[in-house]
Structure 1
Amino acid sequence: MNYSELTRVMRRLAIEAGEKIMAIYESDDFDVKVKSDASPVTEADEAADALIAAGLRAAFPDVALVTEEQADSHGVEAMTFLIVDPLDGTKEFINRRGDFTVNIALVEDGAPRRGVVYAPAKGRMFYTTATGQSVEETGPFDPETPGETTPIGVSQPDNDALMVVASKSHRDQATDDYIGQYAVKDMRSAGSSLKFCLVATGEADLYPRLGRTMEWDTAAGHAVLAGAGGHVIRFDDHTPLAYGKPGFGNPFFIAYAPGVELKGG
């Protein structure tokens, strides 16, 4: 894999998809449908998916592609694959809360190695460079010409005053009970894969997820966090969260900055 070309293509496609998403987001109305799993999907999801999938297949025709919106891709069995959530945080999008992202990632040997997370309504974009270092780019964002980037890195946590981030739309009592085991200085909510990025930039130390997610929800954010020095582990046995699982479903997990004294389940 040519990582320089991958970074260029993923970044460009994320921005172009973000432009399509924002045009629909800022319109007076948009269609919302319900998928077979009862989750919502909008015309923005579908437009962004078509653009990204076509762009990735053109640039990397020999690499398998898994994308949330194309069910026929969910049977892919490969060690190396691209994985896409064209609009992560559809509920945030529908409610016009802004916490939605475009997620594109490369998985190699069970781990997300490269990724981009773009939050067009927030004006924030995070991605891994060709070397694997994660950066945040400052907008405005041009698909063809990268702007100024700043390397990002995880915090040095203070276990007596941790910064915790959790889901905005999927909080439950089990999550609150787990967080309650820590000495928390500040607690914030965020939607979509932005939570990984907040840990990656040092704005949070810990992100536990005790709920269902899919690999396309997490791969890009996981790659960004890994490139910033962070870790993502399974909640049950604290082994690394692996990718390429049958059906692409994730177990509960914990994303964190090294130095956080992790508690049991």
Structure 2
Amino acid sequence: MQDKHSATETPLELIQGALDLLGSCLDITEEAGATTHTVVLVRGLDDSSVAVAFGRYLVGVLAGAVGHDARISADLLAQGVDAQDELRKKVVSLVGETNNFISDGEILFRDTKRNAWVAEGVVHGIMVLRASYPSDCVAGDVQAVASIHAIPTQQGLDSVALYLDGEQLVVAIGECKATAENGTSELTKAAQIFSDIDQDQYGAQLRSELMTFRAVISADLKPQVSDALWRNSRCYLPFIAHETEFDLHAKRAVLDRLSPPVNRKRLIALRIENFHAFFNTVADAMRSAVSQVVI
């Protein structure tokens, strides 16, 4: 798909344009066949324009243009030469100065830090998209999203959001893994995080996120946002970005044991045909977008 970016676009137009392109190109649909969980396929990631759009979007997130209400806004958007320089350094720290990874240390950075952080950013974008674009990622419109991690290896849950299922708010908790070849083992690792949540090991973070969400949620829904919400109404979203195919529909005991019902254990599969090329393109787009987003 042709890149329609114009040099006359404002930063917000660039970021919103990236989201709109993602909304039109990504096909996020449920697929029947699994018994212990629900499979959701994300198609459309192999178009280079999609990777570019994610890169621009992520720079917008880092620059403060995406709020907890899943809306694009200039209220906290960084501006000026100093902010641009700060943002450029931040982008380089996250994705590197180039896509040349030769030494063992450079390859380790690519695989465990750069790709991991970009994948978390892709998840953030998918959840923000669900506020405006229908998809099968979750059952209803997203009402609030947590901030993306500031550093690639930051401890804590990768993604927390609120969505509306009918009239009931649900806490969507995502764990993201990026792996070229080891989808099954990474899914098992993600499931362990959800098991820890079932054992109340993430209560402090979830309460903190819900407190933040109360500030942006609509008044009619605010009474639902309490500590009881994440305990009684939650959805687990293992996001697995991968290249080598694995059996998405196989019975997974690690998912079967988790407390939510099958329709709220949603394996989001992001298969990318050329795994490293996707992440390279996102990184290139991020480095290029700094001067377009912060002016």
Structure 1 and Structure 2 fold alike (TM over 0.5): no
Query: Which structure has the higher relative contact order (CA within 8 Å, separation 6+)?
Result: 2
Name the structure with the higher strand share. 1
When normalised by structure 1's length, the TM-score is: 0.25
